[in-house]
Amino acid sequence: MYVDPSSNLTSDFLIQDILGLKPGEIRIGLDFSVGTGTFAARMRDFNVTIISATINLGAPFSEMIALRGLVPLYLTVNQRLPFFDNTLDIIHTTRFLDGWIDIVLLDFILYDWDRVLRPGGLLWIDSFFCLKEDIDDYLEVFNMLRYKKHKWVVVPKIDKDVSNHKISQLEIAAKKDNCLLSDVDNKSETNDCKNQSK
């Protein structure tokens, strides 16, 4: 379901709405984000176990995740995930694999996620930040997986400073060239993307 950006100026989807796409089927997943495991803590409220993959960039994120009683996974973006094929029900990422990432590296990461995501599992790309001019390139990479789209929206990135009118009109115009993409896709029940491309 495409969400019209004129009626929705946020790229956020609610957890209960995403879990409602597959009621009772989401039990274990991976959060590939920077932070202290907040997504995993919120999903625990819905009886879903989330492993939080993180990198200690300037702070002990892994230790903080463990102190919260959650499961941290310390790895870098160019490592394969230490999971068997077709084992996770959901993979979530937010504000980590943004527009700085090279298309080749993004391709590697997405195909590894496809490997560990079970047939029927959900891929939730949450607030992916990039330049407006690059959005078509990133969408093409995401669409190569050939997953069924449940929800997606592309909205302009508007900082809090813009809404409070604390920056100049020139800076506002420059920020309008940035956008956020949120996308929830469903992996095919029958084939993984490697078999679909044959």
Span 76-118, pLDDT tens digits: 888 999 999 999 999 999 877 777 788 899 999 999 999 999 9
Q: pLDDT digit of tens for each residue in the chain (198 aa)?
A: 555 555 556 788 999 999 999 999 999 999 998 789 999 999 999 999 999 998 877 788 899 999 999 999 988 888 999 999 999 999 999 877 777 788 899 999 999 999 999 999 999 999 888 888 888 888 898 899 999 999 988 888 776 555 555 555 555 555 568 888 899 999 998 754 554 444
2 belongs to a structural domain? no
Q: Which of 92, 75, 87, 83 is nearest to 40 (CA)?
A: 92
pLDDT value at position 197?
A: 46
On whether residue 9 sits in a domain, the answer given is no
Task: Please choose, from the candidates 145, 147, 148, 134, the residue with its C-alpha nearest in 3D space to the C-alpha of residue 178.
Answer: 134
Phi and psi at 173, nearest 5°, equal -60, -40
CATH of the domain at 47: 3.40.50.150
In the chain, how many domains are there? Answer: 1
Looking at the domain assignment, is residue 59 inside a domain? Answer: yes
Residue 112 in any domain: the answer is: yes
Please report whether residue 10 resides in a domain.
no
Residue 165: domain span:
15-196
Tokens of 1: 């379901």
Residue 1 domain flag = no
Strand bridging mode 88-94 / 71-74: unpaired
User: Which of 86, 83, 193 has its CA nearest to residue 148?
Assistant: 193
Instruction: Report if residue 78 sits inside a domain.
Output: yes
Determine, yes or no, domain membership for 47: yes
pTM: 0.83
**95, 125 contact by CB (below 8 A):** no
